[in-house]
Amino acid sequence: MASNFQWYTIREDIRQRSLAKRAFRAVMDILAARTAFVEIDTVTDYARTLTTDELGAERLLRSRAERHWLRRSDLRVHIDASDSLAWGAVQVYGPWSINVDLFDTTAAQKIANFHDCCREMIFLLTAEEAASLSNTLGAGFTVELLREYLDRQG
């Protein structure tokens, strides 16, 4: 990737599900054009709270990879970003997944990771994209360079 891309994160530990969904979708919107494929785990810490739509998205994602079962409780699904039905399912289920990785269209390099049901997020953006994300998310979210965040953590 070009050197003008840097790793960013959202500083806050996002536990509230509505905020996790909002942040996930905002980052996905920015990265959609650069994403070639997604790898998503169809495992969640919130199975009892999933809505009908979220359960449907989980079923669709699992149906795309039934031949790739590693073990019954751990399924990682590979989704081509050009598959609009599966991409929509990723948008719905992603905030609930224990892990989602996005890979770019040029070198299959990872450009985002959403971990632990979106409590931790890192993503490769330009400064302009980071500013746009910050404006989109508004109050309650701090988009910052990952290296600065890690430096503060010591």
Among 8-12, 71-75, 97-101, 142-146, the range scoring the smallest mean pLDDT is 71-75
On whether the CB atoms of residues 110 and 64 are closer than 8 A, the answer is no
Residue 56 pLDDT exceeds 60: yes
Q: Mean pLDDT, to the nearest integer, of 120-130?
A: 96
Q: Does residue 2 or residue 77 have the better pLDDT?
A: 77
Q: Mean pLDDT, to the nearest integer, of 120-144?
A: 95
Residue with tokens 């699904």: 77
Residue 1 pLDDT exceeds 70: no
Q: Does residue 130 or residue 75 have the better pLDDT?
A: 130
pLDDT at position 66: 59
- Scanning the chain, the segments in alpha helix (DSSP H) are 17-31, 52-63, 84-93, 127-137, 146-153
CA 86 – CA 80 distance, rounded (Å): 8
Each residue of 40-53: pLDDT tens digit? 999 999 999 999 99
Residue with tokens 């990682």: 76
Residues ≥6 apart with Cβ < 8 Å to 85 = 60
Q: Average per-residue pLDDT in the chain?
A: 90
pLDDT at position 81: 95
Each residue of 6-37: pLDDT tens digit? 999 998 878 888 999 999 999 999 999 999 99
